[in-house]
Amino acid sequence: MSTNQNTDFCIFWQMEMQLMLHISPSIYLAEFSTDGRLLHTNASMYEWLGASPLKSLLNPTFEQLLDMTAPLSNPVYNGFLTIGDAQGTFISLQALVFRKDERLLIVGGMDAKQLADHNTRLSHLNAEISNLQRQLIREKVTLEATYQQLNQVNASLKESNATKDKFLSIMAHDLRSPLTALMGLSEVLMENSDQYSREEMNTFIRLINEAAVKTYRLLDDLLVWSRSQMGKMPFNPGSMKLDQLCHEVIEVLNQTAATKRITFDVKVAEDTLVFADEAMIKTVLRNLVSNAIKFSWSDSVVTIFSEQGPSDAMLTVGLADKGVGMTEEAMTKLWSLSELLSTKGTNNEEGTGLGLLICKEFVEKQGGRIWVDSRQGEGSTFCFTVPMA
C-alpha cells in the first residue's frame, strides 16, 4: 500500500480510529507536556495513571524519558513501561515513547501472553475477593448467632433475677403469716395454759396444727419449684396406666374431699397408657385434684376424664369441678410468677399459689401443655396433654 493510500485510509476512517484508540482495552495512550502536565489519555491508560500521573510512571520514570533522545520520528524509548503505584498494583506494557516539540507521547499495549497473564491475575484476585466475601458472610452469620445467644442469655439472666426476687418475696410474705400465728399461739399457751379449758386448748392446738401444715406445704411447694427452676428434678419417663395414677392420687386426698362430701367420677379407660415421669404426673394430678376440692362446693362431684389429644401421639387429661370458677382476668394470671395468685377456697382453705406453676413446669417437661376453661360461678376445667405410650 502506497503512502497516499495510507493517508487516504487514515483520513477516511479518522473518526472510527479515534474512537477505537479511546475505548480499546488493549491500547494505552497518554500525552504529556515536557513540563509534566497530562494533556490527553485514553480510557485504559486513565485507570492506571490515577491522581498523580507522573508518579504512576514507575520504570522508566518521566524524568528518565525526558532525558532520552532519538532521530526525528523515531521513538525515544522502545520497551516495557511499568505503570502503577507504590503499594504494588502495577502493569507492564510493551510501549513506544515519542517526543515532538514540547510533547511526549506514550503508546502502549499488551501482547496475547500479557493479556492472558493479566486476566489470570484478575481471576485469582476475584477468587480471593469471593473467598473473603464468603468468609465475611460466615463470620457475620456467626456473629449474629452469637449476638442472639447473648440476648437469650441476658433475657434468661433477667428472668432468673426476677424469679429469685419473687421467690424471696414469697418466702418473706407467705412464710411470715403462718409463722407469726405459730409464735403467737404458742406464746399464749406458754404464758396462760392453766387459764384455758380443755375445749379452748383443743382450739389452740388445731390452729397451731393448721399453721404448721400451711408452713410445711408452702416450704414443700417452694422446694419442688426451686429444684425444677435449677434443673435438679430427675426426669425418668416411662409407660404407666393413667387410671391407676388417678385412683392413687384420689386415695391420698379422699379424706380432704370427705370433709366437704365431694365425690369423684373417673372417666379414664383401664387400658389408657401414657409415657411420662410418674412422680411429675402424680404431682400435677395431686395439685389439680387438690385445687378442685378446694374450690368446689360441698356435696359436689369432681370429674377426671381423658380424650384424644391434638395429635395421635398425645392424650388430653382433664379435671372438671362445679365450684366457684374464675374471671377472665384471674385466668390470665394463673401461669405467671409475677402475678402469683393465692385464693381462698369455698371453706376458706388457703394455698401457696405455686401449685399451678409447678403443674405447668412438669407438664411442659413431658412435652405437653396445660390450660383452663372457667366461668365464674359455674366451675373450672383444667386440661393438660401428655404423650401416649
The domains located in the chain, with CATH, are 3-110 (3.30.450.20), 237-387 (3.30.565.10)
pLDDT higher than threshold 90 for residue 319: yes
Phi and psi of 59, rounded to 5°? -160, 115
| pLDDT band of 341, cuts 50, 70, 90 | low
In this structure, are residues 224 and 283 in contact, taking their beta carbons and an 8 Å threshold? yes
> Contacts for 207-213 with beta carbons within 8 Å, 24 or more apart?
207/181, 208/181, 208/182, 211/178, 211/179, 211/181, 211/182, 211/185, 212/178, 212/182
Helix axes 112-192, 198-229, angle to 10 degrees: 170
pLDDT tens digits for range 165-180: 666 665 665 566 667 7
Predicted confidence at residue 386, as pLDDT, reads 96
Q: What is the pLDDT of residue 4?
A: 66
d(CA 384, CA 246): 14
Arithmetic mean of pLDDT, 206-221: 76
At 301 the pLDDT is: 95
pTM (global) more than 0.75: no
Q: What is the mean pLDDT of the chain?
A: 84
> For the residues 98-115, what does the mean pLDDT come to?
83
Q: Is the pLDDT of residue 163 over 80?
A: no
- The predicted pLDDT at position 384 comes to 97
Q: Return the pLDDT at 154.
A: 87
In 10 A of CB 43, how many CB atoms?
14
What pLDDT was estimated at residue 22?
A: 81
Higher pLDDT, 194 or 46: 46
| Per-residue pLDDT tens digits for 245-303 | 999 999 988 888 888 999 999 999 988 999 999 988 988 998 899 899 999 999 999 99
Q: Band of the pLDDT at 52, cuts 50, 70, 90?
A: confident
- Number of CB atoms found within 10 A of residue 285's CB: 23
Q: What percent of the chain is modeled with pLDDT above 90?
A: 32
The arithmetic mean of pLDDT across residues 196-224, rounded, is: 78
Cell 511526549 belongs to which residue?
Answer: 104
Which pLDDT score is estimated for 358?
Answer: 84
The predicted pLDDT at position 153 comes to 86
